[in-house]
Amino acid sequence: MKLKYAFEIVGDVAIFETEEKRKDKKIAEEIVKAHKRVKTVLKKISERTGVYRIRKFKLVLGKETETIHKEHGCRYRLDVRKVYFSPREGTERERTAKQVKPGERVLVMFAGIGPYPVIIAKKQPEVERICAVEINPKAVEYMKENIRINKVSDKVVPVLGDVKEVCKKWEKEFDRVIMPLPKEGYRFLDTAVKCLKPKGILHFYFYDSEKNLFNKAVGLIEKAAKKAGRKAKILSKRKVLPYGPRVWKICIEAEIK
Ligand SMILES: C[S@@+](CC[C@H](N)C(=O)[O-])C[C@H]1O[C@@H](n2cnc3c(N)ncnc32)[C@H](O)[C@@H]1O
């Protein structure tokens, strides 16, 4: 009988989820057989939790969980047991990077192991500077290595710390602020608005249900802009990826005047 499961591959690590009982080994063997580069197979055994947004896994096959993932010409070293990473978001990262213009100063909040800052520096080598803030020390360790292996050290500045604290010192400093924390990011909108230069661009990610999609997120951005005595002009509203039944990860891009 055909086994039912979903999986994704990060470097040479495959990660699956299933409702099948006592079939973990069989599923792992099937994945390895079909994907020769896979050396380790993990099973998801929890949702993403906590500030670091990481989940628990069961090691089903292999040993090593640290790997190098290749995406749009960039290489990222990471261990999914210790840091957040999703290969499904690669297209969105590339799309965002392509919007960055020469001379821009960019702030990437919630930067993880650095895929946004790295691909921005690669796709737009004339960017002035990218500041990348992340609270998980292990993710910052990987980000530093990823900056080095992708040869973008002259453009990307990794910063370990809480966005709320680290960004206090920045006022109207950035042409673009990227907020890839859909679950809680709205709590940092005031900070993001403060960091943006007049006419700076905000990329705000959010989870929203299909009913009235975008309304809540747009309202949150407008409220934060108004609170700072500024105005938000919505540039685009997009579905990024499905998140759950009738729930989407969305992105709103707005100019903050
Ligand atoms: C959804 S992940 C995105 C990571 C990365 N941008 C990517 O695309 O892979 C969100 C990240 O934000 C970090 N984070 C959560 N709260 C934070 C805070 N207050 N300040 C800085 N980083 C934070 C988490 O540790 C996590 O790595």
Q: For residue 18, how far is the Cα from the chain centroid?
A: 24
What is the ipTM metric for this complex? 0.99
Report DSSP letters for 183-214, one per residue. Answer: TTGGGGHHHHHHHEEEEEEEEEEEEEESTTTT
Tokens of 254: 């707005």
Q: Could you list the mean pLDDT of each consecutive 10-residue stretch along the chain, which spans 257 residues? A: 93 96 94 97 96 97 98 98 97 98 98 98 98 98 98 98 97 98 97 98 96 95 98 97 94 98
166 lines ligand 1 (CB under 6 A): no
Nearest-atom index, ligand 1, CA of 182: 1
Architecture of the domain delimited by 88-256? 3-Layer(aba) Sandwich (3.40)
136 lines ligand 1 (CB under 6 A): yes
For residue 249, the model assigns a pLDDT of 97
* Residue 166 burial (CB count, 10 A): 18
For residue 244, the model assigns a pLDDT of 87
Question: Which 3 state secondary structure label does DSSP give 33?
Answer: helix
Ligand 1 centroid, distance to 118 Cα (angstroms): 15
Ligand 1 centroid, distance to 111 Cα (angstroms): 5
205 lines ligand 1 (CB under 6 A): no
Nearest in space to 86 (alpha carbons), one of 186, 8, 5, 181: 8
CATH number for the domain formed by residue range(s) 5-64: 3.30.300.110
Q: Taking the domains of the chain in order of start, what are their residue ranges?
A: 5-64, 88-256
Of 84, 106, 167, the residue with max ligand 1 atoms within 8 A of its CB, to mutate for a pocket test, comes to 84
What stretch of H or E contains 93?
A: helix 90-97
